[in-house]
Amino acid sequence: MMMMILFMFVIGNMIFILNHKHLLVMLLSLEFIVLIIFVMMMMYLSYVEFDMYMLMVFLVFSVCEGALGISILVSMIRTHGNDYFQSFSLL
């Protein structure tokens, strides 16, 4: 079970690193990585019989990260018309 979760984590990281053409795909891969980290933390905390309070804090921060990413995506689509990184210039 743990090997499958680590494999999913590696695949999520590879998608994030190798597929940086669209902002939406990068945000989805980040959310996938956050969910895998949540599952790993849940398994670890239940194994050592700790309180699950930190999972709630982690979920709050991940929801804030997702809302921030969606707001950046919407503002980028409104200003540039698409979510390609090639059309987005920092200068």
- Average pLDDT of the segment spanning 7-22: 88
* Contact yes or no for 19/29 (Cβ under 8 A): yes
| pTM for the whole structure | 0.84
Q: What is the pLDDT of residue 37?
A: 94
Q: What is the pLDDT of residue 89?
A: 65
- At 55-86, the pLDDT tens digits run 999 999 999 999 999 998 898 888 888 888 77
Q: What is the pLDDT of residue 90?
A: 59
Cα torsion through 87, 88, 90, 91, rounded to 10: 40
Does the pLDDT value for residue 91 go beyond 60? Answer: no
In the chain the domains, ranked by start, together with CATH numbers, are: 2-80 (1.10.287.3510)
